[in-house]
Amino acid sequence: MSSIDFATLLFTLLFITFWGIYKTRNQHGVNKFLKGSDMSWRTIGLSVMATQASAITFLSTPGLGFDKGMSFVQNYFGLPIAMIVVCLVFIPLYYKQKVYSAYQYLENRFDRKTRYLGSALFLIQRGLAAGITLYAPSIVLSHIFGWDLNIIVITVGLTVVVYTISGGTQAVFVTHRHQMTIILFGMILVFVLTAIAITDHVSVSEAFSIAGALDKMTIVNYDTNLNERYTIWTGLIGGFFLALSYFGTDQSQVQRYLGGKSAAQSQIGMIFNAIVKVPMQFGILLLGVMIFIFYLWTAPPTTFLPGDIDTSDPVVAEQIKQLETAYNEQRVSVDSYVEAMRSSNEEELLSTKSKLQTAHAQYLVAHSVLVEQVKEQHGLQNVKESDYVFLNFIQNQLPIGILGLLVAVIISAAMSSTASELNALSTISTVDFYQTFFPHHATKEHTILLSRIFTLFWGILAIAFALFATLLESLIEAVNIIGSLFYGSILGIFLTAFFLKFVRGSAVFIAAILAEAVVISLYVWSPSGIAYLWYNPIGCILVMIFAVTIQTATGSSKTNNHA
């Protein structure tokens, strides 16, 4: 990394951190510390986006576009509809009851044990996830720049802890605005520079046609096969339930819109997110596809993985030679295909398209052999090559200064997500646990002090988890899976609370546990592996069915509805 890049990176991160601390230095109100009140819709919209967009979004998503094409965008199709439901149902109820946490509502509606169940599931899930949010980008930056992994984790983690302790939710909002601005500016800049680089060879339309010929432009898939991971149905239905659960019941998001000047401001902030999110994901994936097109004319590295390949081995040298031959054949095929497109000769177009597809398939085979070699040589078996495509491209193909800005984008994204998580974990620990056990301690000063102590506690836990994560690779995967398995049931509890008003606390409590058991059993014993987004509607609907059945079977007509 050049000194200009490093200066850009350092300036960006230090500016955001000190700005966050400076702007919230004089606040002493519990409301502002825990909720961050008086936020405009712009701040809420950007903060909601900054919370959802973790660093790995900006590392992995372009890589996903590069590797698999555009189909992943379908996962977000359910999000705008979920935002409307959040605006119509969740936000008015939370505002009406003046809650600090989403789970406070569950006690008002059901009972305290249901509140503890919701909060405990959140603490377990988010407590571990915060560590991964720090670890995932740190390991990539460490591999690419050779920086010490522990130093990255501790520096980024402690910086977040310092400003979150200093200004609470208000500081998270202040920093989110700047972080998201830098993220959007950085990504748009790279998008434009990449588009300009491609148009040296082909027009935008020709670039899309080449990407389509090589199966990167299947954006919408109407296949009804349940095992197909990305289809319009998994996106609209599964994505809807996932987004509804995430934005409606996950405190790291709920806390963002509870800080609005009014319910109306929060609703507009969410509508802003509903309109912007799908095009943003489309743009990030398209950036990956454009990088793919770029490398059809500019020779890519042997692999995008970190670490040099040992060419002294004659077998490896021969494999590299085969890769170069395959690449050159692909290059000739691309040129022929472009010429055919320009001549508008249908027969020639079909013939050159078929040759291009064959040449690309041969290149992929030669490439995958070398990827396995590098993985074996450098002990990178658990690493996905596509995660390294984007940073490698920025590092080697774009002007000096952009790399520093993009690393700042990635670290900003890691910080913004971690800050929301620590902030939410601290609020839940304070409001849903400590204050319910020791209600007589709930003075203003005590609450703020306690919230700061909990932020420090969860911050240190996240840093520790990230430091030891290399030893626990399988645990990381487990944590991610657990997250997606629990979301449906939590949403089921909330939807039961909203719409099935005769159901009481004990019925929904047992229903949630039963539904979770069924979802986990399905995951463990499902023979062909249902696409993971389907677990969200399954968990949610099961909770509601079980809750109604148990309530009906126990026969009590007495309601406990304060909603």
The residues binding another protein (CB under 8 A) are: 22-24, 26-27, 32, 36, 38-43, 70, 73, 77, 80-81, 83-84, 87-88, 91-92, 95-96, 170, 173-174, 177, 208-209, 211-212, 217-221, 232, 261-265, 267-268, 271, 274-275, 278-279, 282
The pair of three-digit structure tokens given for residue 384, joined into one six-digit string:
């996905």
Nearer to another protein, 166 or 506 (CB): 166
Closest approach of Cβ 246 to another protein, in Å? 17
Closest approach of Cβ 444 to another protein, in Å? 17
Closest approach of Cβ 84 to another protein, in Å? 5
Closest approach of Cβ 220 to another protein, in Å? 5
| C-alpha triplet 326, 330, 332: angle, nearest 5° | 120
Nearer to another protein, 261 or 331 (CB): 261
The pair of three-digit structure tokens given for residue 433, joined into one six-digit string:
């646990």
Sign, CA dihedral 466-470-472-477, equals: positive
Closest approach of Cβ 110 to another protein, in Å? 23
Closest approach of Cβ 63 to another protein, in Å? 20
Closest approach of Cβ 206 to another protein, in Å? 10
The pair of three-digit structure tokens given for residue 556, joined into one six-digit string:
């009590």
Nearer to another protein, 157 or 235 (CB): 235
- Reported as type and span, the H/E element at residue 325 is helix 314-343
Nearer to another protein, 461 or 563 (CB): 563
Please state, as a whole number, how many other Cβ atoms lie within 10 Å of the Cβ of residue 190.
24
**Contacting residues for 474 by C-beta, under 8 A, at least 6 apart:** none
Closest approach of Cβ 248 to another protein, in Å? 15
Nearer to another protein, 34 or 91 (CB): 91
Torsion of CA 224, 229, 235, 240, to 10 degrees: 110
Nearer to another protein, 221 or 560 (CB): 221
Nearer to another protein, 286 or 542 (CB): 286
- Return the exposure string of 489-504: e unless at least 16 CB atoms fall within 10 Å of the residue's CB, then b: bbbbbbbbbeebeebb
Q: DSSP string of 257-289?
A: HHTBSSHHHHHHHHHHHHHHHHHHHHHHHHHHH
Closest approach of Cβ 365 to another protein, in Å? 23
The pair of three-digit structure tokens given for residue 90, joined into one six-digit string:
């969740």
**Contacting residues for 497 by C-beta, under 8 A, at least 6 apart:** 105, 106, 109, 110, 508, 563
Closest approach of Cβ 449 to another protein, in Å? 20
The secondary structure of residue 470, as a DSSP letter, is G
The rounded Cα 297 to chain-centroid distance in angstroms is 32
Query: How far is 248 from 233, CA to CA, in rounded Å?
Result: 21
> Which SS3 state, helix, strand or coil, does residue 39 take?
strand
Nearer to another protein, 211 or 493 (CB): 211
Nearer to another protein, 210 or 316 (CB): 210
Q: How many residues does the chain have?
A: 563
Nearer to another protein, 123 or 285 (CB): 285
Closest approach of Cβ 180 to another protein, in Å? 14
Could you give phi then psi for residue 120, rounded to 5 degrees? -65, -45
Query: How far is 4 from 161, CA to CA, in rounded Å?
Result: 28
The secondary structure of residue 544, as a DSSP letter, is H
Nearer to another protein, 221 or 397 (CB): 221
Q: How far is CA 65 from CA 365, 379, 398, 462, 554, in A?
A: 19, 25, 19, 30, 52
